[in-house]
Amino acid sequence: FFFLMIRRPPRSTQSRSSAASDVYKRQVSTQSTWGEFEKMTTFIIWLIAFMLLALFLFKHFSKQKQPLETEKEKVAPAKEMHTEEKKLSMKDLKKLQAKSHHTAKPKAKKANPEHSWFVSALKGFGDVITGFDADLKHLLFVVASREKTVKIFKYEKKDLSEANPHYFLLQLDYFPATAVSLYNDILAVAIDGDNTIELYTFEEEPAKKVNGKPVHFSLRTRFEKGLHKNTIISLQLDKVNGKFIVTGSGEKDTTIKVWSMNGQNLALINTSSLQNFYYTMSPDQKYFYTGAWTPDVKVFEVKREKDGTFKQLARCFELKGHTGGVHYIGVDAEAEWAVTRSSDHSLRLWHIEKEFNHPKERETLFYKDQRCLAEAKAVESCAVAYSSRQEKGVVAVGFDNNIAVFRFPGLTLDQVITEAHAEETLVQGLAFHEIGERLFLFSTGTDDRVNVWRIPL
């Protein structure tokens, strides 16, 4: 720090001679040069001092941190060995599960119900059922599961009494199906995650084979991603000539959309109901029902061109009478009767006068009036069937893991099927199908199977 202590000579204010001024100028120039050198040297010294201080602090703190790192290094191998053992055990477990998949039934599987109405079951899944549809003309029933599989079951007998009907398996790639629809050789699948639709061509006896195995499903069209903002909960394939698809979403997306078979959007209707809970197409393919957070059921008429292509989805009428949101809707095969379940703890039966588009509420069933429903933790699903031959109808109601069957007119309780599905599950879907002169009820729950029941007429 020697240069910092050097003092500059003070400037004199007295008058100087020319010779003295020359000397003075030389002194000033040397002093200015000396001053610049002094500044540069001072800067370098301070920089070196700062670097030495930083190096000292770095070494000081690194010495204190080193014991902690050594302790972590001692523990790390144990942790790594533990995770490796865990990974190995998981791999072994998966191998054991894969080996036992074809030899032994999982312990969680439920035995067939003991009720006398039980006929058969569509089973063999490893997770919850997410979609169901039927093609009665060919006795084909399509079932989707959360395990990313879709199976089409084929019955050979019209009484559906086969214990293990043959099935055709479609394995999805990345996401499970949330809804399925089947018409002739066309299978429509709504894919979760991507919120899109995949169309497959289905062949029972295909000519194409891969590694000697027949290929029953071939991808026909994959729609673009994000068809709806939220998960597609309803997928209705046109079952008149298979020329369009109607979809509906849940949560905040309250839109109904119609698509061509190539993925082109043909129509969009916003119900503006805050949240839509349920959609269904009448079996005659003429009316589309929506149940939502609002108490009124909105019904739209499906209009077609002369060649059968889609023309318009027009607002038709409403089912008014509930005081709470409508969560389930069931329509009979002739589209003359409908049953609705609401959060107002009631089921209402409607007679649809299609010629005048003026439905009439015929009967109302309140949960509190029926012991079997009043004590239920959850009344989930409902379905209706009507036989014009006998002028009688049947209403099925799912509550907890049970099913109650009522007859109308009168809505009198006929039968309660207890433990229709596994314990601690809910009956989430019910559908009547008339095959020949027999009436069958298909039930799905939050388990891994579809149960088939024959309802006496």
Q: Tell me: the pLDDT tens digits for 106-151?
A: 334 567 898 999 999 999 999 999 999 999 999 999 999 999 999 9
Determine the average pLDDT of the residues in 153-165: 92
- pTM for the predicted model, two decimal places: 0.74
pLDDT at 102: 33
pLDDT at res. 65: 46
Structure tokens at 124: 């063999």
pLDDT in tens, 260-314: 999 999 999 999 888 999 999 999 999 999 999 999 999 999 999 999 899 999 9
Tokens 């791999």 label which residue?
91
Mean predicted confidence (pLDDT) in 406-410: 86
- Do the beta carbons of residue 453 and residue 443 sit within 8 Å? yes
**What number of other Cβ atoms are within 10 A of residue 354's Cβ?**
17
pLDDT at 30: 56
Q: For 422-444, how does the pLDDT look when each residue is reduced to its tens digit (9 = 90+)?
A: 988 999 999 999 998 899 999 99
d(CA 178, CA 190): 6
Q: Judge whether residue 84 has pLDDT over 70.
A: no
Q: Which residues pair with 429 in a beta bridge?
A: 444
pLDDT at 182 over 50: yes
455 Cβ contact list (under 8 Å, min separation 6): 117, 385, 394, 396, 405, 432, 439, 440, 441
Task: Say if strands 166-171 and 177-183 run parallel, antiparallel, or are unpaired.
Answer: unpaired
Q: Where is 77: in which H helix or E strand? A: helix 18-100
Over residues 74-86, the mean pLDDT reads 38
Percent of the chain with pLDDT strictly greater than 90: 54
- From its phi and psi, is residue 239 left (phi > 0), alpha (psi between -120 and 50) or beta? alpha
Strand 326-331 to 337-342 pairing: antiparallel
Per-residue model confidence (pLDDT) at position 46: 83
**390 — pLDDT class (breaks 50, 70, 90):** low
pLDDT at 19: 52
pLDDT tens-digit map of 24-68 = 555 555 556 666 777 788 888 888 888 888 887 777 666 554 443
The pLDDT of residue 7 is 45
Instruction: Select the more confidently predicted residue: 169 or 371.
Output: 169
Q: What is the mean pLDDT of residues 194-205?
A: 93
Strand 337-342 relative to strand 346-351, pairing? antiparallel
Preceding amide of 456 cis, omega within 30: no
Omega before residue 214 within 30° of 0, cis:
no
Share of the chain above pLDDT 70, in %: 79
Average pLDDT of span 91-100: 40
380 near 367, Cβ under 8 Å? no
Distance separating alpha carbons of residues 180 and 300, to the nearest angstrom: 21
Residue 94 has pLDDT above 70, yes or no: no
8 pLDDT above the threshold of 60? no
> What's the mean pLDDT in 186-202?
95
Residue indicated by tokens 């809505």 = 411
Better pLDDT: 365 or 353: 365
Residues 6+ apart with CB under 8 A from 275: 250, 251, 252, 254, 292, 293, 325
| Beta-carbon count within 10 A of 252 CB | 10
| CA 279 – CA 254 distance, rounded (Å) | 11
- What is d(CA 215, CA 123) in angstroms, rounded to the nearest whole number? 22
Task: Write out pLDDT tens, residues 218-250.
Answer: 999 999 999 999 999 999 999 999 999 999 998
pLDDT at 240: 93
Mean pLDDT over the full length of the chain: 82
Q: How far apart are CA 196 and CA 334, in angstroms?
A: 31
Dihedral pair phi/psi, residue 280, rounded to 5° = -160, 150
